[in-house]
Structure 1
Amino acid sequence: MEKLKNLKPLLYFHLFLNLAVVLFITGASYYHTPLQGAKDTVIYFLHLCALQTTLAGFLYVLSLNKWIFRIVFSILFLGYCCFSFWAYSQDVSVTPALIHSVFETKADIAMDVITLPYLLFFLLALIVLLCILKWHSRLNRTHGFKYFIIPALLCMSLFFVLEQKRPGSLKNRLPYNVVYGIKTYSETPSLQLKKDIPSVTTATDSLKVVFVLGETVRADHLGLNGYERNTTPRLSEERNLISYPGLFTSKTYTATSVPQLLTDENLEDSTREFLSVYTVANKAGFHTTWIANQTVEKSFSPIVETNKEQVLVDKYKSEFSFDKKRDEAMLPLLDSVLRLNPKQLITLHMIGSHWWYENRYTDIHRKFRPVIDSKYIPSLSNEQLINSYDNTILYLDHFLAEVISRLKTEEIPSAMVYVSDHGELLGEDGKWLHAQEGEALKNPAYMIWLSDAFLAKYPELTVALSEEQFLAITTDVIFYRLLEILGIELDDLPKH
């Protein structure tokens, strides 16, 4: 009894430590689980206990050294709290896709999801952490070592036993899903581009194509695709515009979707060397220009660099600048580039409909109300969120119509190709934004506008593009459609 009494401070500390981890980290993976009756509640409670037991062993081993515990536990606890807040507040699943997105999202965009509740949650976690560290510093940490070390190691081994019996039952929940997500991200090969390309045949010496790379626009919120709201009043009046409501992608975040759109990568193959559309266009004699209202991410930077010219809106502001301009800021740059050369491929990379929606459009496009007034999504109504999102589509309609109006003044054939990198979740299954699973994310907007001069010069291609309008297609076709519109043929390139 005397020995047990001496061990009480250590036992109480580890009880508090594990309760804190449950409340701030592991419990988040169970918070939104739909439970039907007492049986479900008991089963999931036991599952949580099993998961926490595997962590209890790790926490004990970690606590044996004062400085290792202070440094490692502090980093892990606060780091995991950054993820658990979103699991609690929005039922966000931590997947390799989310980890990829977190590591490669620019600071200016990341700041748009930092809210007061998030900061308060983090502050509370910090206070609890300081209490844990203060308590830990007063303990005789190695007291009872011979009683606890074997059970601790057995608890840790329980993870592997349970994972072998039911793969994914633990590693798909916090905190293990973060570890596996980082592991998957680190094992993903970096983008490799082909330097030597097949011989190129080009059919024209005068053609201007503007490729607009959109952001977070889902096809079913375009009025011209049958959406109940007329979110595309100007584009709906364009007789030479073809919209493709059936486009599919499995890439639900920018870091993976953009490289696939700009190269011959397909949805099933991401390990070989790929061919940049700009490398091909350069070889065919086009002047290639990248104009962006987003800073370039590491995942597609090598592709952007294959353009002959790159222009960034607010080029003297880094990704740590939070004064974002709207996409219209690219139009004067487009005007100046269009005058340079009769044979051009110009890319406009939009900030589009990326959260925070209220930063993405002007007051004149605030048609649908009420709009969002907080960055903390759980405090907003579905109506507010969808209204603000639809207002960004109205602004997109305006922006694309302005691009088209400029191309209409060209005497030579011209075209505009627009495709969004992915869609957006707008409350489906209680989820919002992107970089997670959801069918609405996999149906991005896609449209093509062709000038009268283009229609007259390339009637067969125009018919072929029109015939594809209502087909179920994937983003695999974008690279090939761009080459067809550019009038470029490549030897040994498969047809799509």
Structure 2
Amino acid sequence: MHNFNVSSLRDSALFHSLCFGTLFGLLYNAQPLKEFPVHGFWIVAYVSLLNTCVFYALNFVGKVRIVLVPLLFVSASIASYFIYNLEIEMNGEMIAAVMETSYFEAKEFITVRLILWIALGFFCSMVYLRTARRIVVSRKQFAPLLCVVALLVIVFQAAGVETFKKNHVEERQALMPRNITPYSLADASGAYYSSQIRMKELGQLTELGGIPSEVQGTPPDVVIFIIGESARGDHFALNGYSRDTTPRLSAEPNVISFGNVTSFAASTRISVPAMLTNATSAAPAITTTSVLDLFGAQGYSTHWISLNDRFNKNNNPTTRLINNVQDRRFRSFFNATYETAKDHMMLPAVRDLVTDGGTYPKIVTIHTRGSHWQYPERYTKQFARWLPATSDVDEPQEVINGYDNSIAMTDDFIAECIDLVREKNAVVVYASDHGDSLGENGIYTHGRMNRPEQRHVPFIVWASDAYRKAHPGVWENMKGHAASALSHDYLYYTILSLGRIKERGHRYDLDLTSSSVVAGQGSMAELLAKSSAASQ
């Protein structure tokens, strides 16, 4: 009979891997304990066994382990921090946000809590490496390891049993590697790079300026197209929100607010390119340059003003579309740092463009910061109407206060743009790229396509008296669809028609100025109906 040897157990590679696999599971995949009171323990146990196999395998990689283990802990720390605190979903869009964001945007998400969480992960990795020095890998340990692997396979296969799939959908999803930190990072990275490959396979974008089009009637002097950021339609008083977040727009007689609009996606990098092109929810591929090229082909001077940084045109989904725009101005033009930049800084440039007495007609597109996280950084003191305001997710009402203050500043910005062209034959269009979650089910920011609050966006049109007088039918047709279920699908053809431009193959069913418009396309109701049909 063999005596139990504590020292040999401590130095066992399998026991060492089990200890750190369990620690890793509890640190970075503890959500099931809260979300699934009945099955949560078993899910975490499964994840811990999976981690055990990974840590055991690290015994065979030699000195590379010195790099791999800290990388594993630190990446898991970063991913789990945002999953725990903001309830983000780790997918290709999240990787895209990391890969394509600027240093300044990324810096706004760095907190003391995040730094401490990363430090804890790094410390654990150092403890692992130190204790792993004395580990002895024995052939005798392969038998129990095979049992662990067999158990994992059995559980994974059982998760595919029809009864389990039907009655425990969320628990089954929690067992998938794509939902386990940090393995979800590999799945999400694969999805991102696959999308990049597909984008390259599409080849060169079709130049919209070369597509046959014509101006019908007298074009307006100025079209201003404002692209909002992270604005939710249900937080605009104009759409019935209880707080008066839009006092200036609500007082405007020539405003139409479409209150039931669904965004193309839940992220900027997908929505904005779709807003600028004829992509639709049914045909989402971006194959052309921006709508501004069609305006340019019909004699408009084209302008792009943004407080965002300019990225490489081949890598960033938005900037690659606007290469032909005649006048492009980014944050560097305004001599503003990322921390101090506010949307109102762009107003003098807009004023110069629309009042210079130069070439008309012109289209001015303004890409705003709007309500991008962190919300208190988006507005000036005069718009701090609801206090206290913070970006601390432990204080959800204070987060909402900051968000609503940013909407109030957006209201003022749009109204100021209207004032600049009030006496001209002009239209102003505002639409946001997506919304944000504000604590619903513990979720914050954006990136989840299936969250209604992240897809419900404002879509507002203002027209001057001169424009309405010149085109009375246009205004009446749009008013008739103010309460209709709509989406970003309608934006492209509506903006063209507001500029009195029609392209070959113009889709009147997606043109809100037309009497032939068909409501509901790309709306949340349509998307949910399709999703329900697919699951049956």
Settle same-fold status: TM greater than 0.5: yes
Measure how far apart 1:77 and its partner are.
Answer: 2.0
Task: Decide which of 114, 127, 136 is 2:110's aligned counterpart.
Answer: 114
Task: Decide which of 187, 191, 195 is 1:184's aligned counterpart.
Answer: 191
1:93-112 map, 5 Å: 93-112=89-108
Measured at CA, do residues 457 and 370 of structure 1 come closer, stay the same or move farther in structure 2, by a change above 3 Å? same
Tell me how far apart the structure 2 counterparts of residues 359 and 8 of structure 1 sit (CA, whole Å).
Answer: 51
Measure how far apart 1:395 and its partner are.
Answer: 0.8
Kindly indicate whether the alpha-carbon contact (under 8 Å) linking 1:31 and 1:88 is maintained by their aligned counterparts in 2. Answer: no
1:219-230 map, 5 Å: 219-230=233-244
Kindly indicate whether the alpha-carbon contact (under 8 Å) linking 2:273 and 2:318 is maintained by their aligned counterparts in 1. Answer: yes
Tell me how far apart the structure 1 counterparts of residues 151 and 338 of structure 2 sit (CA, whole Å).
Answer: 46
Kindly indicate whether the alpha-carbon contact (under 8 Å) linking 1:369 and 1:387 is maintained by their aligned counterparts in 2. Answer: yes
Count of residue pairs brought into register by the alignment = 481
1:195-344 map, 5 Å: 195=207, 197-203=210-216, 204=218, 207-271=221-285, 273-296=287-310, 298-315=316-333, 322-338=338-354, 339=356, 340-344=358-362
Measure how far apart 1:206 and its partner are.
Answer: 5.2
Kindly indicate whether the alpha-carbon contact (under 8 Å) linking 1:416 and 1:448 is maintained by their aligned counterparts in 2. Answer: yes
Greater mean alpha carbon deviation, residues 302-311 or residues 213-222:
302-311
Kindly indicate whether the alpha-carbon contact (under 8 Å) linking 1:213 and 1:421 is maintained by their aligned counterparts in 2. Answer: yes
Tell me how far apart the structure 1 counterparts of residues 121 and 50 of structure 2 sit (CA, whole Å).
Answer: 22
Greater mean alpha carbon deviation, residues 216-225 or residues 144-153:
144-153
Amino acid at match of 1:173: N
Measure how far apart 1:426 and its partner are.
Answer: 1.6
Kindly indicate whether the alpha-carbon contact (under 8 Å) linking 2:307 and 2:331 is maintained by their aligned counterparts in 1. Answer: yes
Tell me how far apart the structure 1 counterparts of residues 319 and 114 of structure 2 sit (CA, whole Å).
Answer: 31
Kindly indicate whether the alpha-carbon contact (under 8 Å) linking 1:213 and 1:419 is maintained by their aligned counterparts in 2. Answer: yes
Task: Decide which of 35, 38, 60 is 1:33's aligned counterpart.
Answer: 35
Measure how far apart 1:392 and its partner are.
Answer: 0.9
Tell me how far apart the structure 1 counterparts of residues 193 and 245 of structure 2 sit (CA, whole Å).
Answer: 41
Kindly indicate whether the alpha-carbon contact (under 8 Å) linking 1:249 and 1:444 is maintained by their aligned counterparts in 2. Answer: yes
Structure 1 residue matching 2:90: 3-state secondary structure: coil
- What residue is the counterpart of 1:474 in the other structure? 487
Task: Decide which of 456, 463, 486 is 1:450's aligned counterpart.
Answer: 463
2:196 matches 1:170: no
- What residue is the counterpart of 1:74 in the other structure? 70
Task: Decide which of 59, 71, 79 is 1:63's aligned counterpart.
Answer: 59
- What residue is the counterpart of 1:355 in the other structure? 373
TM-score normalised to structure 1 length = 0.90
Measured at CA, do residues 267 and 31 of structure 1 come closer, stay the same or move farther in structure 2, by a change above 3 Å? farther
Tell me how far apart the structure 1 counterparts of residues 310 and 454 of structure 2 sit (CA, whole Å).
Answer: 22
Measure how far apart 1:355 and its partner are.
Answer: 1.3
Kindly indicate whether the alpha-carbon contact (under 8 Å) linking 2:22 and 2:45 is maintained by their aligned counterparts in 1. Answer: no
Tell me how far apart the structure 2 counterparts of residues 445 and 31 of structure 1 sit (CA, whole Å).
Answer: 38
Measure how far apart 1:454 and its partner are.
Answer: 0.7
Tell me how far apart the structure 1 counterparts of residues 282 and 130 of structure 2 sit (CA, whole Å).
Answer: 51
- What residue is the counterpart of 2:135 in the other structure? 139
2:434 matches 1:431: no
Structure 1 residue matching 2:53: 3-state secondary structure: helix
TM-score normalised to structure 2 length = 0.83
Amino acid at match of 1:404: I
Structure 2 residue matching 1:417: 3-state secondary structure: strand
Tell me how far apart the structure 2 counterparts of residues 146 and 30 of structure 1 sit (CA, whole Å).
Answer: 30
Amino acid at match of 1:336: D
Structure 1 residue matching 2:253: 3-state secondary structure: coil
Measured at CA, do residues 272 and 415 of structure 1 come closer, stay the same or move farther in structure 2, by a change above 3 Å? closer
Tell me how far apart the structure 1 counterparts of residues 10 and 345 of structure 2 sit (CA, whole Å).
Answer: 65
Task: State the Cα RMSD in Å.
Answer: 2.5
- What residue is the counterpart of 1:17 in the other structure? 20
Tell me how far apart the structure 2 counterparts of residues 405 and 201 of structure 1 sit (CA, whole Å).
Answer: 29
Tell me how far apart the structure 2 counterparts of residues 58 and 134 of structure 1 sit (CA, whole Å).
Answer: 18
Q: String of CA shifts for 1:233-256, please: whole Å, max 9, x gaps.
A: 111111111111111125111111
Tell me how far apart the structure 1 counterparts of residues 95 and 471 of structure 2 sit (CA, whole Å).
Answer: 44
- Structure 1 unaligned segments of length 5 or more: list them: none
Kindly indicate whether the alpha-carbon contact (under 8 Å) linking 2:257 and 2:459 is maintained by their aligned counterparts in 1. Answer: yes
Amino acid at match of 2:24: V
Structure 2 residue matching 1:444: 3-state secondary structure: strand
Tell me how far apart the structure 1 counterparts of residues 126 and 505 of structure 2 sit (CA, whole Å).
Answer: 63
Structure 2 residue matching 1:447: 3-state secondary structure: strand
- What residue is the counterpart of 1:124 in the other structure? 120
Tell me how far apart the structure 2 counterparts of residues 324 and 480 of structure 1 sit (CA, whole Å).
Answer: 36
Structure 1 residue matching 2:95: 3-state secondary structure: helix
Q: String of CA shifts for 1:422-449, please: whole Å, max 9, x gaps.
A: 1111222222221124211111111001
Q: String of CA shifts for 1:29-53, please: whole Å, max 9, x gaps.
A: 4254153xxxx1xx22112212332
Structure 1 residue matching 2:177: 3-state secondary structure: coil
Measure how far apart 1:480 and its partner are.
Answer: 0.8
Measured at CA, do residues 8 and 313 of structure 1 come closer, stay the same or move farther in structure 2, by a change above 3 Å? closer
Measure how far apart 1:95 and its partner are.
Answer: 3.2
Q: String of CA shifts for 1:110-133, please: whole Å, max 9, x gaps.
A: 221211111111111111111111
Tell me how far apart the structure 1 counterparts of residues 4 and 321 of structure 2 sit (CA, whole Å).
Answer: 66
Measured at CA, do residues 104 and 158 of structure 1 come closer, stay the same or move farther in structure 2, by a change above 3 Å? farther
2:424 matches 1:415: no
Kindly indicate whether the alpha-carbon contact (under 8 Å) linking 1:198 and 1:490 is maintained by their aligned counterparts in 2. Answer: yes
Structure 2 residue matching 1:348: 3-state secondary structure: strand
Structure number with greater CO (CA < 8 Å, separation at least 6) is 1
Measured at CA, do residues 243 and 307 of structure 1 come closer, stay the same or move farther in structure 2, by a change above 3 Å? same
Greater mean alpha carbon deviation, residues 239-248 or residues 266-275:
266-275
2:453 matches 1:440: yes
How high is the sequence identity, in percent, across the aligned residues?
A: 22
